[in-house]
Amino acid sequence: MNRRTFTQALGAAAFSAAAPMPSSGAAAPAAKLPPYSLSVMLWTAFPKLPFVEQLEKVAEAGYNQVQLVGEYRLKNWTADDYARANAARKRLGMRIDTTAGLAHGVADPAARDAFLADLRDALKSMETLGTSDIIVLSGDVVPGLARETQHQSCVETLKRAAAMVEGKQIDGRPVRIQFETIDPLENPKYYLTSMIENFEVVRAVNHPQVRALYDFFHEQIAEGNLIAKLEKNMDILGLVHVADVPGRHHPGSGEINYGNIFRKLAELNYQHTIAMEFVPLGDGVAELRKAKELALSAGAV
């Protein structure tokens, strides 16, 4: 989860319905659509529902992409479970574009071999589900280990990971590793809390299949200055996560101006995925629809 066809068609229909009828009888101009695609991180949206019902709810909200946090590993999916998941996503026209949930991070040099084994194992499930991208975490601060040592471990371990996926594709898309930052309030022990350092690591790895994941929720809490970092680092950005501050709720519920962010992403020709990773305050389907409408309208620049 061509990959924007479904989302763009829905967006075009929404814009067409909202536009006034032309008085001359001439055809209305086609709505300009954003360059990005839209997805939903399942763990936040409908966590109490069975997996297939979660997909159905996401489809009802108008999305055709979802992201996982290793649900298949956490629940020890059988071959039949994978078959049911694939049947459901194909029936709904859904793509699982990204997964996460590796047990080890990249900032601890002593855990490097375990991380690479995690990644090697995850690739098998990704192939089964048609998933091309995987989110990778730094892991926690290692007591007694210098930050520079952990920084360099992130670089070296991600270089090893890049070599593992070099040239690899799943369903015609290159396998990409998305490196994520988490704010220090959510996890005070976590190593990588700054997008500035994230970008530094990804630039040092210098591989097209290793990208920076920009989670605006985490970065607003950690350091702010969200749009300036977009403008400076678009070339290595690979995935965007969206939730408002405080509370991790839908865009518009808090202090982040997501209209400006979506507009800037479109102006900068961001052609990857924006994933909604917010906890609904009420009707999840309605809130996802509203977030989608904002992303499409603000990005139509």
Task: For residue 83, give the CATH number of its domain.
Answer: 3.20.20.150
> Could you tell me the two tokens for 96?
């699982």
Residue 201 lies in a domain: yes
CA distance 267 to 286: 27
pLDDT for 26 equals 53
Residue 25 lies in a domain: no
Burial class (CB in 10 A: 0-12, 13-18, 19+), 29: exposed
Residue 207 lies in a domain: yes
Residue 196 lies in a domain: yes
How many domains are there within the chain?
A: 1
Q: What SS3 class is residue 213?
A: strand
Q: Measured in whole angstroms, how far is the alpha carbon of residue 27 from the centre of its chain?
A: 36
Residue 17 lies in a domain: no
Closest CA to 220 of 254, 252, 191: 254
pLDDT for 15 equals 37
pLDDT for 301 equals 76
Alpha-carbon distances of 235 from 27, 125, 167, 271, rounded to whole Å: 38, 29, 19, 11
Q: Measured in whole angstroms, how far is the alpha carbon of residue 276 from the centre of its chain?
A: 8
Radius of gyration of the chain from its Cα atoms, rounded to whole angstroms: 19
> Could you tell me the two tokens for 181?
């930052």
Query: Angle at which helices 112-129 and 79-91 pack, to 10 degrees?
Result: 50
Residue 119 lies in a domain: yes
Residue 27 lies in a domain: no
Alpha-carbon distances of 225 from 133, 217, 233, rounded to whole Å: 27, 12, 13
**Which amino acid makes up residue 183?**
D
> Could you tell me the two tokens for 292?
């989608």
Tell me what percent of the chain is helix, strand and coil, each rounded to the nearest 5. 45, 15, 40
**Which amino acid makes up residue 257?**
N
pLDDT string in tens for the chain (301-residue length) = 333 333 333 344 333 333 344 444 555 555 688 999 999 999 999 999 999 999 999 999 999 999 999 889 888 899 999 999 999 999 999 999 999 999 999 999 999 999 999 999 999 999 999 999 999 999 999 999 999 999 999 999 999 999 999 999 999 999 999 999 999 999 999 999 999 999 999 999 999 999 999 999 999 999 999 999 999 999 999 999 999 999 999 999 999 999 999 999 999 999 999 999 999 999 999 999 999 999 999 999 7
- Among the residues of the chain, which ranges form H helices? 5-18, 42-45, 51-60, 71-74, 79-91, 112-129, 147-165, 195-205, 216-222, 226-233, 258-267, 284-298
pTM as predicted = 0.88
**Overall size of the chain counted in residues:** 301
Residue 251 lies in a domain: yes
Give residue 82's domain range.
5-12+33-298
Alpha-carbon distances of 232 from 74, 170, 179, 228, 268, rounded to whole Å: 37, 30, 17, 6, 10
